[in-house]
Amino acid sequence: MADQQEIKQHFWKKLAASPFVMIGLDDGGHSEPLTAQLDEDQVDTLFFFIGKDNRLAAGEAAMVQFVSKGHDFFACLAGTARVDNDFAMIDKLWNKQVEAWFPGGKDDPNLALLRFDISDAEFWETDMSLSGKVKMLFGAKIDAGEEGSHAKVSTTAA
């Protein structure tokens, strides 16, 4: 079972490997899939390139849900979303995948950089122990220490 520090590190590693999340405002509307842009220099922050006409551009309290590529790590992040068109950050995070969505490049009139500041998070990691896997294979009861890791954190900083 991973401790809080380890599970935070696992989160950032898993998110970097597959940065696809669902994000939605806490206004009762649906979440939508976006690609998170990560900046090692920003603690507890995710960035997303969106169109200015995207419903998320209104900003406010929001939630992000993440499932890792191997379906062995899950996260729910609470925080605040807001447009932050800092050109230095846009330039730093810009890449070919983003360019495909914004043909006008970094100066595209519809381009907006959405900043999501994480206020707290909950993580689940299914790092089941070998004994837990054997028990599951044979239908036996899996003990709490064999099922994986869970953490509620007020910061995702490692």
Amino acid 152: pLDDT: 75
Whole-model pTM? 0.84
> How much of the chain, in percent, has pLDDT values that exceed 90?
69
Amino acid 147: pLDDT: 56
* Arithmetic mean of pLDDT, 111-118: 98
- pLDDT band at residue 4, thresholds of 50, 70 and 90? confident
For 25-67, write each residue's pLDDT tens digit. 999 899 999 999 999 999 899 999 999 999 999 999 999 999 9
Amino acid 127: pLDDT: 60
Chain-centre distance for alpha carbon 119: 13
The Cα-based distances of 35 to 59, 82, 149 in angstroms read: 17, 16, 25
